[in-house]
Structure 1
Amino acid sequence: TPNNTLTVTTTTLFSPVFAGTFDTEFDITWGDGRGKVLNNGGLLTLSLDRASGSGFQTKKEYLFGKIDMQLKLVPGNSAGTVTAYYLKSKGDTWDEIDFEFLGNLTGDPYTMHTNVYTQGKGDREQQFHLWFDPTADFHTYSVLWNPHHIVFMVDDIPVRKFKNLQHIGVPYPKLQPMRLYSSLWNADQWATRGGLVKTDWSKAPFTASYRNFRADACVSSGGKSSCPAGSTRWFSQRLDLTAEDKMKVVQRKYMVYNYCTDTKRFPQGAPKECRH
C-alpha cells in the first residue's frame, strides 16, 4: 500500500500533553446547528431530533496515541438513539476503533458496543453493560493505540484488548492515520433490543455532552507523523497484571456479547485472534 511510506519521527521540542479546547481542535461537521461548542470551548454538545442528528471530528489525524474524552450520555428514555465515538481512517480499506453507546428505556442499562476494523473488515463486536449510570455524570472513555495493542478503557479500567497478531496473519492498524469522530443519531431499526423499541420523539431533543478531550498522540500530516516528547510512556505500554486482572473481572461481570464465542456466526471456529 502507498501508506507504508509513513515515517514516525519524535520531535525533540518539549510539548506537554495536549488538552484541547473544542473550538480549536474540532469541527462540527453536520447537524445544522445541533452541535454546539459552549463554555469557551470547554464543552461540546450534540443533539438529535426527528429531523437530524449531529456530529464532529478532530481537525488533526493521529497515528498511535492515548485518546481520552469525558462523555455524558443522553439521559432519560434514550431508546433508539446511538452515540458513536470512534477513531477512523479514510478510504475503502479503512481501520477503525469503535465505541458505540446504544440507548435504552429509562432505568435499563445502556449497552456499550465496541468493535475493531482492520483494512475495511470489522465483525469483532464485544458488548458490555456499564457498572454505573452513564447519563448521570461524565465518565472517561479512552483508547490506547500503540504498536502492541489497542485497549479500550472506561475510567482508566481496561475493558477490552485487541493484540497486534500480524505474525499469525491478522491485520493490525498501524499505517493509516485516524481522526476521532463522534455522532448522535437515530438507529431505532436495530439499536434497542434489536429494533423492538423505537425512539420516542416526544422526548426530543436528545443531547449528549463532551468535555476534557486529551490526545497524547502522534499527529500525522503529509505522510509524516510527529510524536510529542514523552510519548515513549504510552507508545510501548503494555497492561500489567493488575490491569489484566481488572479487565478479566469486567469481562466476566459485564460483557453481554463476545464475537469470539458466537458459534452461530462462526460455525467453522472462532476467528484467529480469538485463539491467542
Structure 2
Amino acid sequence: MNLFMSFLLLFLLYTDKLAGLNFNTDVTVTWGQSHVAKSRNGEEMEFKMDQYSGASAQTNADFLFGRFDMRVKLNSPDSTGTITTFYLHSPNRDLWWDEADFEFIGGSSTADYKIHTNLITDGIGNREQQFRFPFDPASNYHTYSFFWTPQQIIWYVDGIPIRVYRKLSDSRILYPDKQPMKVYTSLWNSTAWTGEVNWKNAPFSAHYRNFYVNACVAWRDGSNVSSNCKIVPPFWFTYKLLPLERDMIIRMREQYMTYDYCNDKEKVTDVTSIECANNP
C-alpha cells in the first residue's frame, strides 16, 4: 500500500469515528448572546458583530487529546479589523494556560484574508505561523481541524495538514499534554491588532456547522486530571505524521505561508531553534 492510500485509509477510518456535537446542547454562549443565532436542530450557528458586540461560545465538555473538525464560512466583503476563531483553550484563564489557535483575520477583500495559527503552553506563546487562504473562505464552508495527541498537534485545512508541533524529549520545549481544553469559537473586533473596522459593512458574520469530534472527555479531581481514554487509549493515541503529510506541510508552507516565527530574528532563541528544527 503506497503512502497516499495509507493516508486516505486513515482519514476514512478516523472520519467514520467522528461524533457530531450539537450547538444547542453541547455548546454554551459565553458572551454576545443577542448576537448569536442557532438553527432549531442545533447543527448550525451564526455569530454577528456590530459596534456594540461580537460573540463567543465554548463546549460544555473539556477534552484531553482528540480530533476536532469545524466547517466555517467567513464574512465578506471588507472585514478588516475582524477576527473569526476556532481554537482550543484550557478552562483556567490564569498565567499558565494552554491554547491552540485557528484565527481567521479579515481583510479589505477575501484575497487578503489570513489563516493565523499559534500555540501557547503554560502561558508562553509567540509561535505564530500565518498563511494565505488557498480558496475564498467567504464563498463557501471549509473544514478546519485540530488533531491533538500526546505526541503532536496537527492543524488541517480541508483535510490537508498545514502545520505540526511535536512533543520533544528536551524539557525546555513545552507541550500541552497536562491540561484539558475546551473548544471555543468567536467573532470579535481586533482593531488594535489588524486594522480599523469599516462599520459601514456591519453587521459582520461568521457561520459554523458540522462540528465533529473524536476526543477524550476529561475532568479534574483536585489537581489530578482523568479522562475516559485513560484505561483504554484510542487507536489514534500513537499516531505519527506520515511522510506524505510532512510533504504536504512543506508544500503549503512554500505556496501559502506569509509569516513564520522560526524566521523572526526577534523571536528565535536557543529553545525555539530546537523547536523549529523538529517541526517542518
Normalising by the residue count of structure 2, what TM-score does the alignment of the two structures yield?
0.86
Distance 1:32 1:58 in 2: 15
**Is the contact between residue 166 and residue 172 of structure 1 (CA under 8 Å) also seen in structure 2?**
no
Q: Which letter maps to 1:211?
A: R
Distance 1:107 1:167 in 2: 41
Unaligned segments of structure 2, at least 5 residues: 1-16
Q: How many residues align?
A: 257
Distance 1:230 1:60 in 2: 20
In the alignment, structure 1 residue 69 sits paired with structure 2 residue 70:
yes
Tell which deviates more after alignment, 29-38 or 259-268.
Answer: 259-268
- What SS is found at the alignment partner of 1:263? coil
- What SS is found at the alignment partner of 1:22? coil
State the Cα RMSD in Å. 2.1
Q: Identity rate of aligned residues, in percent?
A: 39
Equivalent position of 1:123 in the other structure: 126
In the alignment, structure 1 residue 133 sits paired with structure 2 residue 136:
yes
Tell which deviates more after alignment, 234-243 or 123-132.
Answer: 234-243
Q: CA offset at residue 269 of structure 1? A: 8.4
Q: Which letter maps to 1:108?
A: A
- What SS is found at the alignment partner of 2:249? helix
Tell which deviates more after alignment, 19-28 or 163-172.
Answer: 163-172
Equivalent position of 2:5 in the other structure: none
Q: CA offset at residue 32 of structure 1? A: 3.3
Distance 1:229 1:109, change over 3 A: farther
Distance 1:36 1:107, change over 3 A: closer
Distance 1:128 1:47, change over 3 A: same
In the alignment, structure 1 residue 95 sits paired with structure 2 residue 104:
no
Tell which deviates more after alignment, 30-39 or 259-268.
Answer: 259-268
**Consecutive aligned runs of 4 or more in structure 1 exceeding 4 Å deviation:** 228-231, 267-270
Unaligned segments of structure 1, at least 5 residues: 1-15
Distance 1:267 1:62 in 2: 31
- What SS is found at the alignment partner of 1:33? helix
Equivalent position of 1:275 in the other structure: 277
**Is the contact between residue 66 and residue 215 of structure 2 (CA under 8 Å) also seen in structure 1?**
yes
Distance 1:172 1:269, change over 3 A: closer
Equivalent position of 2:192 in the other structure: 189
Normalising by the residue count of structure 1, what TM-score does the alignment of the two structures yield?
0.88
CA offset digits 1:219-240 (Å, max 9, x no partner): 0123320139996332221121
